[in-house]
Amino acid sequence: MKLKKNLAVLLVLLLSVSALRADEGMWLLQLLKEQNAIELMKKQGLQLDADDLYNPNGVSLKDAVGIFGGGCTGEIISPEGLILTNHHCGYSAIQQHSSVEHDYLTDGFWAMNRSDELPTPGLRFQFVDRIEEITDIVNARVKAGEVDEYTAQTRSYLAGLAQELYKKSDLYGKKGIRPVAETFYAGNRFYLIYYKVYTDVRMVAAPPSSVGKFGGETDNWMWPRHTGDFSMFRIYADADGQPAEYSPANVPLQTPKFFTISIKGLQEGDYAMIMGFPGSTYRYLTTGEVENRMNAQNEPLIRVRTAALDVLKEEMAASDKIRIQYASKYAGISNYWKNSIGMNKALIDNNVLGVKTEQERNFEAFAKGKPAYEGVVGNINSLTREMKPYMSQYTYLTEAFSNVIEFGSPYLVMAQLKKGLQEKNDSLVDASVKQLRSAYDIIHNKDYDHEVSRKIAKAVFPVYAANTPAEDRPAFFETIDKEFKGDINAYIDALYDKSIFSTRANLDKFLKKPTVKAIDNDLATAYSTAKNEKMNEVYSQYVSYNKQLVLLHKAYIRGLGEMKLPAPSYPDANFTMRLTYGNVKSYNPRDAVHYNFYTTVAGILEKEDPTNSEFVVPAKLKQLIRDKDFGRYAMPDGQMPVCFLTTNDITGGNSGSPVLNAKGELIGCAFDGNWESLSGDISFNNKLQRCINLDIRYMLFILDKLGNCGHLIQEMNIVE
C-alpha cells in the first residue's frame, strides 16, 4: 500500500514544478501548466498565456496544427482551410498527380482558382479534438488482473481500449472522429487522443523541385541550406463544416483558428517555438541499446539501401517515366539512409556512448538500496546483447525483401485458393480469384516498373546473402542453391519472368484453370511465403526479449525521472502533439568554423550547377534574384532570406511544423535537422543541435513572384 502511494506521489512530482531546460524537450501541451512550463517560456520571451497555446475548453494555437498525411505536420494559414507543409511532405501527392505530360515535380503546380485545386485520394488532415488521461483506467485493470503490464502497452490492446472508451463518450457517432490511446513515459502514463479526420484534401500549390528540393540528396540534413521546402493544400468539408469524402459540392473548411504570418524579420536570440507531431525519439536508451541501434539497425539499413539507391539513380536518370514513377519512393528510401549514416557518425563524434555510460553510473548509484531500480540497467544491457543477432537479422530481412523490393505474391490468398481447390469449394475459389485479380493491380500499380524491381532485386539479394549466415536465410535460398546452382541472378530472372504474378498474361493463363500443382510450383508464392515465415520466426524471437525490456524500461524511465527531481521529464516522441521552445541561433560545428543563423538567395546562385539536377535554378527565379525583385519580403538590408536556424528540439514527423515567434505568429516552417547532431534522436546536444527552418518570407516570395499566386496571399493575415 505504501509503495503504491509513493508511486502515485512520484508520478505527480515527475511532471511537476521546476525549471525546464530550454531547447531540449518535446513537451506535452496538456501538461504545460502542471510542469510550470509557461512561466519559464515567458522568461525566454513568450508573450502568450498557457490557454493561448492549449485550451481544452476553447480555441487555441493548437487548433491550427494537425497531422498532414501519414507522417508530417501541417498548419492552417487562412480562414478557409489553407494548409502549409513541407514540399517533401507533399511530395507523394505531387508525384501522384504528375505524369510525363503534366510533370508537376519538375514544373511546379499553382492553382489559379478553387476549381484548379486537385483532389488527392488517400490524403488526410487530422486535428487534435480532445485529449483525456486514462492512466487510472489502465492501472486499475492491471491491478484487477484484467491485463498484464506488458500487454497494457501493446498497440492491439490500446486500440481496443480506445474504441471501448470512445463508444461511451459524447463524441461517439460524430463524423470523422478517430480515437487513439497512447502510452507515455514507457507505460507510466496513458492518454486517449481524439482526432478529427478530414479526407477531402486538395493540392493548391507546389514549387518546382528545383526550388522545393534544391540541393537534393547532397544538402539533405546539411547546413547552410537554400531549399524552398514548402507545398500548400486545402481542406474541404461538407456544407456543415464536417468531414466528408470528396464531392464537387464540398466547400473550403472554415477553420476556427489559423496562424497570423509575420514578415517583421528575425534576430539572433529571438524566441521561437514549434508545435508538431515528432515521430520517434529514443532518449532513454542504454549503452547496449545504442550499440544495437548503430550496428544491428543502422548498418544493415545503410548497406541494403545503398545497393537499391545505386540502381534507382541510374534508372531514373535514364527515363523521365521512371523518374516520375519512383520519385517519391526514392525520396523515402534515401532520407533515412542518409540519416542513418549521419546518426552513426554523430553518435561517435558526440561521444554519446560516453554520455550514456555516465548516466548509467549515476543511475546505479541512485538505485542502490531501491529494489524497484537496482540492477535494471545491467539487465537491460544483458538482454540487449542477447537480442542483437535477431535484431540484425530482422533489419536485413525487412530492408531487403519488404522496403526496397516491391515484387512478390499475395501468398495468403494463394493458400486460400489452394484450400478451395483441394476441398472443391467453389465459393472460396471464386472469392480467391477475385482477390488475386485485385492484388495484381495493387502490385503492378502506376508507380511500379517490373524491370526496375528486377534490377533492385539483383543488387540487394547478394547484399543480404553476404551478411546473413546460410542457416539463417529464408527457404528460397535453398531453391537458389539446389535448382539454380547458387546463381542468384538466374533465380531472380525466373522469379520475375515465370511466376504467376510476373505478367498479366501469366496471371490470366493461370486463372483460366488454376491448379494446386501450379501454386506449389510458383516461385513468387514460395518466395513470399518463405520470407514472411522467416520474418515471423525472427520477430517472435525478438519479441520474447522485448517483453522483458518493456517492463525494465518502465522502471528505468520512472527511476530516471525520480533521479532528476525536482526538474520534470518529458516522454519520448511517439507522433503525438508536442511543443518545443528555444531561440534563433547560429553555431560552430568545428574548430574555426562559424555558421550564421540564416541564408539568403545569394547562396542559391553560388550553388547553381546546370549540369547537376540537384542544383538547377529556374530561369525566372534567377532573374528575380539578379533584379532583386523581392518586394516586401526582403530584409531591411535588401537581401532575400531563405532558411534560418533555431535550437528547437525536433525529429521526423515535425516536418512541416509551424515555427512561431513570441506572439504566436508564423515565422517559418520546420523541415530538417543538421548533420552534426543526427545523434539527437538518442542524445540531445545543446551546443550543436539545430532545427533548419524555411523562412516564411521566402515562401511568400516564391508564391507571389514565381507562382503568381497573389490570390492565395490575400487569404492570409500578414503583419509587417
Q: Residue 435 in contact with residue 400, Cβ under 8 Å?
A: no
Residue 351 cell numbers, joined = 561521444
Instruction: Round to whole Å and give the CA distance between 123 and 197.
Output: 10
CA angle 567-568-574, nearest 5°?
Answer: 150
Residue 456's nearest CA partner among 331, 308, 569 is 308
Residue type, 139: N
Dist. CA 523–CA 542, nearest whole Å = 28
- Decide: 213 and 87 in contact? Cβ < 8 Å: yes
The residue written with cell numbers 553476404 in the block is: 466
Q: What's the rounded Cα separation, in Å, for the pair 532 and 538?
A: 10
d(CA 496, CA 585): 53
d(CA 255, CA 239): 13
Q: Which residues of 150-181 are buried (b: 16+ CB within 10 A; e: fewer)?
A: bebbeeebbeebbeebbeeeeeeeeebbebbb
CA–CA separation, 220 and 121 (whole Å): 28
Query: 135-143 vs 155-167: helix axis angle to the nearest 10?
Result: 110
Q: Residue 361 and residue 592: Cα distance in Å, rounded?
A: 34
Q: Give me the helices (H) in 476-581, please.
A: 476-483, 488-498, 504-512, 516-521, 523-564
Phi-psi domain of 173 (left: phi exceeds 0; alpha: psi -120 through 50; beta: other) = left
Residue 526: is it exposed, middle or buried by C-beta count within 10 angstroms (0-12/13-18/19+)? buried
Looking at 108-253, list the stretches that DSSP marks H as alpha helix, in order from N- to C-terminal side.
135-143, 155-167, 209-212, 216-219
Whether the upstream peptide bond of residue 610 has omega within 30° of 0, thus cis, is: no
Query: What is the distance between the alpha carbons of residues 657 and 65, in angstroms, rounded to a whole number?
Result: 8
Residues with a catalytic annotation lie at: 88, 229, 655
Per-residue b or e along 576-614, where b marks 16 or more CB atoms closer than 10 Å to that residue's CB: bbbbbbbbbbebeeeeeeebebbbbbebbeebbeeeeeb
Q: What are the cell numbers at 203? A: 493540392
